[in-house]
Structure 1
Amino acid sequence: MDRFILTERRGEVGIITLNRPEILNAWHSPMRQQLVAAFKAFEEDEAVRAIILTGAGDRAFSAGQDLNETRTFDGARGQEWVGEWERLYDAMRSLSKPLIAALNGVAAGSAFQVALLCDFRIAHPGVRMGQPEINSGIASTTGPWMMREMIGLSRTIDLTLSGRLMQSEECQAIGIINRIVPQERVMDEALSLAHELAAKPPVAMRLDKQRFREMTEAGFRDCLEAGARIQREAYASGEPARMMEQFLARRAASKA
């Protein structure tokens, strides 16, 4: 089986690495399934007290959705796709252990959302983050809910409708990057924080994270329900497929 996700242990810290560097760690269904399994395995491992999520290579945490997968979707598959994200986001939200994103490059679209679901985000000056899904004809539902919770409605509208990516300085200024360090120090900084958090009382940590989940559960379920409805309509229209084909054609031409 292809290993789209790599895992390792460093003492009481579990590390998960997104492992498709040749396409900027963009994910498809098998990769999402392996990521869910990795989160569940570390959650069940009592020796692991903190988790780091990062991406292979030095160009991207993840570019988000692999458009080669979604460009073939119809309405029914678009709705099913939302269910796949629900399983991944549920696995992340249900963790009783602190989760740190070690950002080593761009985090776009669904990868931006995954980064926001982490408890902390460590980055370097070259990191860019945002919600460019509209540029590929993909309607946004889970992303706007997460962004509104963290940065307010005005910025959420800006990022969702413009599709622009923010530089790391802007991300830190609005509170979604916790620390910016030189690129070569991102993992060391994430490990230092992970060990610090792993030393905290585990019951208090679990209960604090449980309460954060309870506080946001109603909005989370609402955005998933809306996502199933909206993605069915979007993909049934054919617009996402057309926009993705155009995007992929432009990218191929730029590499020729």
Structure 2
Amino acid sequence: MTAASNEPVLLRRDEGRVAILTLNRPKAMNALSGELIDALQAEFDRLAKDREIRCVVIEAQGRAFSTGHDLREVASSRDHAFHHDLLTRCSAMMMAIRALPQPVIAKVQAIATAAGCQLVAACDLAVASSDATFATSGINNGLFCGTPSVAVGRNVGSKRALDMLFTGQFIDAATALRDGLVSRVVPPAELDRETMTFAQHIAAQPPQQIAEGKAMFHKHMEMDLAQAYAIATEFMAGAIMTEDAQAGIDAFVNKKPKPEWKGR
């Protein structure tokens, strides 16, 4: 489907407890315009307060997942304040993904470059078609991908990230999986089904444990080993005492049916 000029740049539909956000600028290769960045931020703000949605999928219409910032928009101004504001809003939107209580899955059907690759890296998980390709290709246009380097570097490590950043060369889905940029790679025909199965499985898990576990994980990944174990130990000691954990452990020990999770 091709988006007309009067169509929204971002679509949302909910399937049970899974929210699907669809980048809807296919003619522009789903470039992250200021309008699309703001639309994503607005949805993340809504999802942060949504107690019914337990997993989020970000997908895209057309031939690209996203080719990054809209270079026509970038070229429209030489005002530093304009570009600083645009990049600040984009960085805030990326950080909002981490702050969400729900896990966020990027569903990558095709090319993801520059800030589009950053969006994949910013998500908690990513399922890619075997046809998908990835690059931090700004250097090919004379611009080092500074903000994409933050998320990509935290996914793949410094040497692999700098290889991508210095060369602008593409990697295929198998390489992205090997390097940790994506979680799973599936054949193109199975991308929709596999991503939704993955999302629905996560959505069926105890939501308080998922939300608090996500926050704890991302926090300890920025710490040294001793600090990480200290915060994880504190988390688990408290988690064991929650109603969901007590019910789940009791069901396992006493061979009872899986309980209904109470939610957050």
**Do both share a fold (TM > 0.5)?**
yes
Aligned partner of 2:132 among 127, 130, 135: 127
Structure with bigger gyration radius: 2
In structure 2, the residue corresponding to 1:122 is in which secondary structure? strand
Aligned AA for 1:27? L
**CA separation of 1:5 and 1:156: change in aligned 2, threshold 3 A:** same
Whether contact under 8 Å (1:24, 1:62) holds in the other structure is yes
1:204 aligns with 2:209: yes
Identity rate, percent: 27
Aligned AA for 1:50? C
**CA separation of 1:202 and 1:175: change in aligned 2, threshold 3 A:** same
Aligned residues: 217
Whether contact under 8 Å (2:98, 2:124) holds in the other structure is no
Aligned AA for 2:64? A
Where in structure 2 are the equivalents of 1:74-153 lying within 5 Å? 74=78, 75-153=80-158
Shift of residue 173 of structure 1? 1.5
Gap runs ≥5 in structure 2: 1-5, 224-264
Gap runs ≥5 in structure 1: 219-256
Shift of residue 156 of structure 1? 1.4
Shift of residue 90 of structure 1? 2.5
Q: Which residue of 2 aligns with 1:33?
A: 38
Q: Which residue of 1 aligns with 2:242?
A: none
CA distance in 2, matches of 1:10, 1:194: 10
CA distance in 2, matches of 1:193, 1:173: 19
In structure 1, the residue corresponding to 2:144 is in which secondary structure? coil
Q: Which residue of 2 aligns with 1:50?
A: 55
1:177 aligns with 2:182: yes
The RMSD of aligned alpha carbons is 1.7
CA distance in 2, matches of 1:216, 1:141: 21
Whether contact under 8 Å (1:94, 1:213) holds in the other structure is no
Aligned AA for 1:93? R
CA distance in 2, matches of 1:77, 1:153: 30
| Higher share of residues assigned helix | 1
Which structure would you say has the larger RCO, counting Cα contacts within 8 Å and 6 or more residues apart?
A: 1
Shift of residue 63 of structure 1? 1.2
Q: Which residue of 1 aligns with 2:162?
A: 157
Whether contact under 8 Å (2:152, 2:181) holds in the other structure is no
In structure 1, the residue corresponding to 2:51 is in which secondary structure? coil
Shift of residue 44 of structure 1? 1.9
- The more displaced of 98-107 and 38-47 is 38-47
CA distance in 2, matches of 1:153, 1:191: 32
Whether contact under 8 Å (1:54, 1:101) holds in the other structure is yes
Shift of residue 39 of structure 1? 1.8
CA distance in 2, matches of 1:150, 1:91: 17
Q: Which residue of 1 aligns with 2:69?
A: 65
CA distance in 1, matches of 2:108, 2:26: 14
Q: TM-score, normalised by structure 1?
A: 0.80
In structure 2, the residue corresponding to 1:61 is in which secondary structure? strand
Q: TM-score, normalised by structure 2?
A: 0.77
Whether contact under 8 Å (2:54, 2:102) holds in the other structure is yes
